[in-house]
Amino acid sequence: MKFKEGDKVLFLNEKGGGTVTRVVDDQIVHVSIEEGFEIPYAVGDLIKSDAGIERDTGRRSSAPGSDDTGTRSPLMLLTHQGSSIREGIYLSMVPRNQEKVLHTPLDLYILNHTGYTLCFALFINSSGSYRGILSGSIEASSKKHIGKVERTEIEDWKNALLQAVFYKKGKTEIIAPVSEHIVFKPVKIYKEESFAFSPLINQRAFTVGIWKRENED
């Protein structure tokens, strides 16, 4: 979907909407929201407000790991800082209210910060038993929204498991498949300093490295 300046839009992954104020390119536009801020968004995270699609603004939280939108969109990489982040796979926890990061549900994203398409399977650790909750693919340099969780549900994610293989069409270097636990301390989601600005998604987020590619020397 293409946007132009002045279009009224709704956010797919959060409540509310705004007005397009600037079109950067086919993938990124700037949106002015009612709080007075102008924020860059991936076009895959927006829909025109007059598109005739009903949105459930009062829905309950998704079950841990559920993909309530099924959307994939490019990583932002809006600044030179993005290029300094090591290639890899990351889990990013993004507060829905960026002004009150400790008092809002968290949107979970898998970030594929590599030049390969990622085919993955995701398992959470519930009371010591693994449960498969999601599988799919993420294009190179893209993120996938995997669901919304309340903070009381985050315990299931502290030792989740991601298995993945990498694919690139044509002649390429082969990367071995990975099977990695998602390791972090849940207490960190209750500390404001844990939510730093991420140049990969252009929002404040608590980001956990799942797998990082070895540096090429």
Same domain flag for 16 and 100: no
Same domain flag for 204 and 118: yes
pLDDT at 126: 79
pLDDT at 72: 59
Whether 61 is in a domain gets the answer no
Handedness of CA 13, 16, 20, 21 (dihedral sign): negative
Rg of the chain taking only CA atoms, in angstroms: 17
Same domain flag for 44 and 133: no
Whether 40 is in a domain gets the answer yes
Classify 130 in phi/psi space as left (phi over 0), alpha (psi -120 to 50) or beta: beta
pLDDT tens by residue, the chain, 217 residues: 688 888 888 876 666 788 888 887 777 787 887 666 677 777 777 788 754 333 333 333 344 434 344 455 667 543 344 457 899 999 999 999 999 999 999 999 999 999 999 999 999 987 778 999 999 999 999 999 998 999 988 988 988 999 999 999 999 999 999 999 999 999 999 999 999 998 888 889 999 999 999 875 4
Same domain flag for 102 and 42: no
CATH number of the domain at 142, please.
2.60.40.1600
pLDDT at 50: 58
Same domain flag for 81 and 129: yes
pLDDT at 7: 87
Whether 59 is in a domain gets the answer no
Same domain flag for 137 and 38: no
Residue 12, domain extent: 8-48
Whether 67 is in a domain gets the answer no
Whether 165 is in a domain gets the answer yes
**Domains held by the chain: number:** 2
Euclidean distance between CA atoms 211 and 39, whole angstroms: 29
pLDDT at 65: 38
Whether 66 is in a domain gets the answer no
- Helix H, strand E, coil C: the string for the chain is CCCCCCCEEEECCCCCEEEEEEECCCCEEEEEECCCCEEEEEHHHEEECCCCCCCCCCCCCCCCCCCCCCCEEECCCCCHHHHHCCCEEEEEEEECCCCCCCCCCEEEEEEEECCCEEEEEEEEEECCEEEEEEEEEECCCEEEEEEEECHHHHHHHCEEEEEEEEECCCCCCCCCCEEEEEECCHHHHHCHHHCEEECCCCEEEEEEEEEECCCCC
pLDDT at 45: 73
Same domain flag for 100 and 199: yes
pLDDT at 183: 94
Cα distances (angstroms) measured from residue 99 to each of 39, 41, 134? 13, 17, 30
pLDDT at 9: 84
Same domain flag for 80 and 23: no
Whether 2 is in a domain gets the answer no
- Residue 30, C-beta contacts closer than 8 angstroms, at least 6 positions apart: 20, 21, 22, 23, 24, 38, 39, 40, 41
Whether 125 is in a domain gets the answer yes
